Structure 1
Amino acid sequence: MSPTYLGGSDRAASSPYSLTVEIPLELVLSGWYLTEPKLSPDRRRIAFVERWRGAAAILVVDVDVDVDLERPGPARMLSFGPDPAPGRGMGGGCFSWLADSTGVVYAAVDGELWCVRGLGLRRVTDHERSARAPWVCGRFVVYVLDEAEVWLTDLDTGDHRRLDDGRHEFCFDPAMSPDASVVSWQGWSPPAMPWDGAERVDCRDPSGRADLSAWRPAVGAVQQPGFAPDGTPTCVHDGSGWLNVYLGDRAAVSESAEHAGPTWGMGQHSFVVRRDGSCIVARNRAGFGTLSIVDPAGGVIDLLTDVVGVHGQLSMVDDRLVVLRSGPTRPPEIVLVDLAAPGRPGRVVAASGATAWRDVVLADPEAFTVEHDGVELRARRYAAGKGRMLCWIHGGPTDQWQVDFRPRVAYWCSRGWDVLVVDPRGTTGHGRDYQQALNGGWGRLDVDDTAALIRRAHAQGWAMPATTVVIGGSSGGLTVLGLLADHAGLVAGGAASYPVSDLAALADATHRFEAHYTDTLVGMPGAPGLEEHLHSLSPIHRSDRIVAPLLVFHGTDDPVVPMAHSVALADRIRRGGGDVELVLYEGEGHGFRDPVNQRDEYSCTEQFLSRFLGGN
């Protein structure tokens, strides 16, 4: 495909490669982000969450309906109590507008819900637990406690009651019908993960009898339960094999594209339904995103086609739509769209990041496929064209790095490295069968799939084994270790952040949400031969084969993959004569938040690449 240069540059697209003007590390780490835009019910204001250097606030922009959409008012702070607890990326679950548009109810970092209305600030809940995903309808707010219970509170009287009956260990994303007669949410229980078999739970007469029923497709999982303006139940499910939007039992459009990402958190909002029965859908085709109007007959018209990237966090009132979008060098920005004039370009209401990102030039990634083991594997190449390559493996493994804002990718491309983003089996975005294909083979199939994609890149002449490094974190780190152990000579080295290395130990030690993840990805407890299977798939038991240089990062307080796993791994590699450097960050968890440690991670990685591959 021909490259499109993002960021507002007027320079001609004369090369398929990104320009290698080095991006400053301070720009990469500047980290001012916006998320979760929501139109007020009277459609006059847009509220959104701002995150910057560990703090957060809810801001509001006035959008006067009597003037041109090109001139929204300046952003002002709406929240003034405890900091809100924002979602991340295309996730949300932080706040909901009050029905009269005079304020919001939000989830705060203290675990309670708070209400801001004009000069008034009051605490709505007093559970002393973790409240999340508020949804306001009239005088009621429904929300989730500890990711496990659904509650209803009357904002006028303070009366509250629990709605779920405990049948599911996890409950996410409650929504209330327009007439307040039904509350619906997503529920599931281990050993299933939400993408395996989550159900839609409906609670009828929530302030009275609270009658419960649950549904999901025979093969598939449900997410984002909600309601159309006329009360028709809506959701996303993959009963057809693909995550598509449904209105009742009718698909908005049945297609081989995904209309949502995996449920790693609450508040995705990847679609909205109009009064005429048409939908606005954020679609994902093999990692590339489009925002589309789908009419009641299934016809599709794409919106905002001027930017390559992804869209999410859709909010709509009447013919006014607001959406969060980002691209490879475009930090998340809030775009306002007038659906009454669909040919009119959207207007950026607020934008994340420093303005310097507009001067970064990065060619669009090139998609390619390779046939391996009877499966069509996919990847995307961000080209620098210097003959050296970083193969990046996403975490999860039930996830995907879409063509969205990835400062790391831009940083390393600007230093002359191709970045190959691979989608081995288990990756989302390619349908249910592809995502579920990893089950039983985590640590084997993903490793061999990534090796096949790297070999294809080498065959294309983009890099050689001596100029290729594989990088990944968490589950991606597991794949890094497996590649070094099982495909010696394919790459020159690897870097792994908080990697999974011991599957048996992980199942005993990880946090609640992922406590049963290995049951589906590897095997159910008690299954014949499970102990041997876990042993064979765990890189720590093949560490004697890791001879290529390895760099490992880990936080001392990681609740997902304990630091001790990486310490044991490094010790075994050293005893086997391997070359490994282990960097531990005091007080960090599953990901590094301290700017000092973030800078050090980049510095260590750059030194690692320079030491073994000649660096720049």
Structure 2
Amino acid sequence: MSDPSKLPYGLWPSPLTPDRMAASIRLTDVLWDRTGQTLIWREERSGRGVLVTRTLDEAPRDLTDSGSVRARLAYGGGEFTAGREAVIFVGENGRLYRLPLAHGLPRPITPPFGNAASPALSPDERWVIYVHSDGQTDVLALVDAEGRLWPQKVAEGADFYMQPVWHPDGTRIAWIEWDHPNMPWDGTRLRLARLEGSPPRPVSIETIAGDDRTPVFQPAFSPDGRFLSYILTEGEWDALVALDLETGARRILVEGTTLAPPAWVHGLRVYGWSPRGDRVFYRRNENAFASLEVVNLKGEIARLDLGPYTWFEQLTVAPDREALAMIAASPVIPPRIVSYEDGRLQVHRFSSAERIPPDHLSIPRPIQWTASDGTAVHGLYYPPTAPGIEGSGLPPAIISVHGGPTSQRVATYNADAQFFATRGFAYLEVNYRGSTGYGRSYREALNGRWGLLDVEDAVGGAQALVERGLADPQRLVIMGGSAGGYTVLNALIRYPGFFRAGICLYGVTNLFTLAAETHKFEARYLDILVGPLPEAAARYREWSPIFHADRIQDPIAIFQGAEDRVVPPNQAEAIVEVLRRRGVPHVYRIYAGEGHGWRRAETVAAFYEEVLAFLRQYVLFA
């Protein structure tokens, strides 16, 4: 008789079904209100953004019951802010709305024009500053919190604005701005303005830090108004800086580590001041694992014990006491809204039912391999995991390539990794050269070499698994979305036969059309990653998959959102036409109503069903 504990890799019975993958909600932000007694967070339910509130010791309740709370600038984010009695949020139509926390319906306070993000209430809650864009021109704008007056421009002239904040006395504001061709991690300016009048208008504006080669991230005023803090990247690593607004003295509180994430979305926060203004709580990122620490004004650092969690996002500190709230997770704990006070952790919201025991899930470990130029390349390796089940031989492996490409896979809950690892696949997240989290030189290594180094490192990661006896060399699969999908296509073109199959989600196929058609935020991104046009036209052609698609011979599954504004559907359809003409085995699915990523539950479930069917046909039973 066969041993019931031995099953072929890739065919293990996983508790993570496609329906269960679709059932989770997505937690995107959390804030305290200005009393410190109420938490407000945003969650996505099948693509709909909902604000939820919980007053301490009471049950959570939805604040919004219709429409969607969703900002559309860049990749979203910065959807809401909270006062003492009301929230200001961005509706899916791009307008700002005021909504009382107790009772009442949302009321628009800005006209139906363009898109807003990152609203910030003045200390007296009379005014709201926010970022506004009509798709071509971005500005920093101001409107009264009741919406009685017409919005006014506060700052203009830069290509982009982000992260506006108020000084506690209401007479100054600070923000981040930058210009093409930079992205916000390449170089930005921190600006400080003094305000007068009603409505308040800038009477002086100065640059505090940053330039075209020096990025600044997350300005924040200390609660006593003495300091303006920010994260600065002047060299290889980040530094947390506190500027004394009276003396002009600059204190470096933390340095030599990774603090700032790439600002793909508005409203990101990785630190917060204590209510007394004498300490700063912050997230440190070391080798894709996070720790939560606190530093005083003397630079003395202590690490907080947050138990089982290994990643934290959207840190917020209560205004009346040292109570922290955040989105916390680990590789075996899906994201939760968590507060930390007096050494005690409390969960306020779960993103899933958490019915799967943690010991049934895969725990990743950092892994390194050496590139041809001697650089150590980084990744997170998830071994196949299922209690009581063994495979025979070596497992098939999914080589996952993250998007961006300026991004990083970290030690949070990775639903994709668990979906495949619990079925008996090895799973490798490749943090290729160009990824964040490993120093500025590592991130900038991809500049001018996108399509080359990312492909080399994906192949190198697969080879590292094979050499260490962790993967079957005949059953390697490369998978990625957006920029990761671009890497998938180029890998199949440059290394035919190396991978058994590829899975490409909304991947870039034509760099020329991408440069011409993508949204404003990334309109000049390729100037850095590939080179400016027309000077770099030869490189655009060399690394655009569409011009070399006739070299693809391995089976490939291509998935696309019909309403994708970042990588339009014509990118996928052009390469699918080549595959059809040449008879290359492929699957093409375009999902109606979806954009750059899947939001609807029915799409998520259908996608995973399709992927499993594709892998069974072309990898497991090939």
**Same fold flag (TM > 0.5):** yes
Cα distance in 1 for residues equivalent to 2:208 and 2:331: 38
Confirm whether residue 532 of structure 1 aligns to residue 538 of structure 2: yes
Give the equivalent residue in structure 2 for 1:143. 130
Q: Cα gap change, 1:222/1:604 in structure 2, threshold over 3 Å: closer, same or farther?
A: same
Q: Cα gap change, 1:410/1:463 in structure 2, threshold over 3 Å: closer, same or farther?
A: same
Alignment of 1:122-137 (within 5 A): 122-137=107-122
Cα distance in 2 for residues equivalent to 1:91 and 1:73: 30
- 1:539-560, Cα deviation, whole Å (9 max, x unpaired): 2222232212111112233212
Relative to structure 2, which stretch is displaced further, 434-443 or 553-562? 553-562
3-state SS of paired residue (2:344): coil
Contact 1:474 1:500 in 2 (8 A): yes
Give the equivalent residue in structure 2 for 1:311. 312
Cα distance in 2 for residues equivalent to 1:61 and 1:478: 42
3-state SS of paired residue (1:252): strand
- Aligned positions, number: 580
Find the partner of 1:183 among 173, 184, 192: 173
Give the equivalent residue in structure 1 for 2:466. 458
Which segments of 5 or more consecutive residues in structure 2 lack a partner in the other structure?
A: 1-11, 244-249, 386-390
Shift of residue 51, structure 1, vs aligned partner: 2.3
The amino acid that maps onto 1:319 is E
Shift of residue 296, structure 1, vs aligned partner: 2.9
Find the partner of 2:94 among 111, 118, 139: 111
Contact 2:18 2:606 in 1 (8 A): no
Relative to structure 2, which stretch is displaced further, 427-436 or 78-87? 78-87
The amino acid that maps onto 1:377 is V
The amino acid that maps onto 1:449 is D
Confirm whether residue 243 of structure 1 aligns to residue 238 of structure 2: yes
Confirm whether residue 291 of structure 1 aligns to residue 292 of structure 2: yes
The amino acid that maps onto 1:223 is F
Q: Cα gap change, 1:286/1:140 in structure 2, threshold over 3 Å: closer, same or farther?
A: same
The amino acid that maps onto 2:237 is W
- 1:277-319, Cα deviation, whole Å (9 max, x unpaired): 3211122112111111223333333224422431011111221
Find the partner of 2:553 among 547, 556, 560: 547
Give the equivalent residue in structure 2 for 1:564. 570
Shift of residue 494, structure 1, vs aligned partner: 0.8
Q: Cα gap change, 1:83/1:157 in structure 2, threshold over 3 Å: closer, same or farther?
A: closer
Cα distance in 2 for residues equivalent to 1:91 and 1:568: 28
Contact 1:397 1:427 in 2 (8 A): yes
Cα distance in 1 for residues equivalent to 2:578 and 2:547: 9
The amino acid that maps onto 1:53 is S
Which segments of 5 or more consecutive residues in structure 1 lack a partner in the other structure?
A: 1-18, 64-71
The amino acid that maps onto 2:284 is R
Cα distance in 2 for residues equivalent to 1:276 and 1:294: 11
- 1:230-266, Cα deviation, whole Å (9 max, x unpaired): 321111221132233221233321123x212111111
Contact 2:68 2:91 in 1 (8 A): yes
TM-score, normalised with respect to structure 2? 0.88
Shift of residue 178, structure 1, vs aligned partner: 0.7
Confirm whether residue 169 of structure 1 aligns to residue 159 of structure 2: yes
Contact 2:312 2:329 in 1 (8 A): yes
TM-score, normalised with respect to structure 1? 0.88
Cα distance in 2 for residues equivalent to 1:92 and 1:585: 23
Give the equivalent residue in structure 1 for 2:349. 350
Contact 1:87 1:94 in 2 (8 A): no
Contact 2:579 2:586 in 1 (8 A): yes
Find the partner of 2:590 among 557, 581, 584: 584
Q: Cα gap change, 1:21/1:299 in structure 2, threshold over 3 Å: closer, same or farther?
A: farther
The amino acid that maps onto 2:133 is D
Q: Cα gap change, 1:395/1:615 in structure 2, threshold over 3 Å: closer, same or farther?
A: farther
Confirm whether residue 77 of structure 1 aligns to residue 62 of structure 2: yes
Cα distance in 2 for residues equivalent to 1:184 and 1:390: 44
Q: Cα gap change, 1:155/1:444 in structure 2, threshold over 3 Å: closer, same or farther?
A: same
Cα distance in 2 for residues equivalent to 1:430 and 1:322: 27
Alignment of 1:88-487 (within 5 A): 92-98=77-83, 101-117=84-100, 118-121=102-105, 122-137=107-122, 138=124, 139-146=126-133, 148-155=138-145, 158-159=148-149, 162-205=152-195, 207-217=200-210, 219-231=213-225, 232-248=227-243, 249-256=250-257, 258-274=258-274, 275-316=276-317, 317=319, 318-338=321-341, 341=342, 344-357=343-356, 361-372=360-371, 373-384=373-384, 386=391, 387-487=395-495
Q: Cα gap change, 1:359/1:202 in structure 2, threshold over 3 Å: closer, same or farther?
A: same
The amino acid that maps onto 2:238 is L
Q: Cα gap change, 1:565/1:95 in structure 2, threshold over 3 Å: closer, same or farther?
A: closer
3-state SS of paired residue (1:434): helix
Shift of residue 83, structure 1, vs aligned partner: 3.8
Confirm whether residue 24 of structure 1 aligns to residue 17 of structure 2: yes
Cα distance in 1 for residues equivalent to 2:67 and 2:613: 41
- 1:207-227, Cα deviation, whole Å (9 max, x unpaired): 144322234435321121221
Shift of residue 115, structure 1, vs aligned partner: 1.7
Contact 1:51 1:86 in 2 (8 A): no
Give the equivalent residue in structure 2 for 1:511. 519
**Identity across matched positions, percent:** 28
- 1:357-383, Cα deviation, whole Å (9 max, x unpaired): 456732321101112113111001011
Cα distance in 1 for residues equivalent to 2:223 and 2:483: 40
Cα distance in 1 for residues equivalent to 2:272 and 2:344: 19
Contact 2:77 2:117 in 1 (8 A): no
The amino acid that maps onto 1:392 is S
- 1:437-484, Cα deviation, whole Å (9 max, x unpaired): 111011111111221121111111111221210100111011111111
- 1:509-564, Cα deviation, whole Å (9 max, x unpaired): 2122111111111001232xx11111111122222322121111122332122222
Shift of residue 82, structure 1, vs aligned partner: 5.1
Relative to structure 2, which stretch is displaced further, 377-386 or 118-127? 118-127
The amino acid that maps onto 1:134 is P
Contact 1:558 1:588 in 2 (8 A): yes
3-state SS of paired residue (1:301): strand
Contact 1:555 1:590 in 2 (8 A): yes
Alignment of 1:488-503 (within 5 A): 488-503=496-511
The amino acid that maps onto 1:348 is V
Cα distance in 1 for residues equivalent to 2:104 and 2:601: 35
Contact 1:335 1:350 in 2 (8 A): yes
Cα RMSD over matched residues? 2.4
The amino acid that maps onto 2:481 is G
Cα distance in 1 for residues equivalent to 2:304 and 2:360: 23
Shift of residue 157, structure 1, vs aligned partner: 8.0
Cα distance in 1 for residues equivalent to 2:594 and 2:537: 31
Give the equivalent residue in structure 2 for 1:605. 611
Relative to structure 2, which stretch is displaced further, 454-463 or 101-110? 101-110
3-state SS of paired residue (2:217): strand
Contact 2:38 2:55 in 1 (8 A): yes
Cα distance in 2 for residues equivalent to 1:22 and 1:468: 23
Contact 1:388 1:467 in 2 (8 A): yes
Give the equivalent residue in structure 1 for 2:26. 33
Shift of residue 38, structure 1, vs aligned partner: 1.3
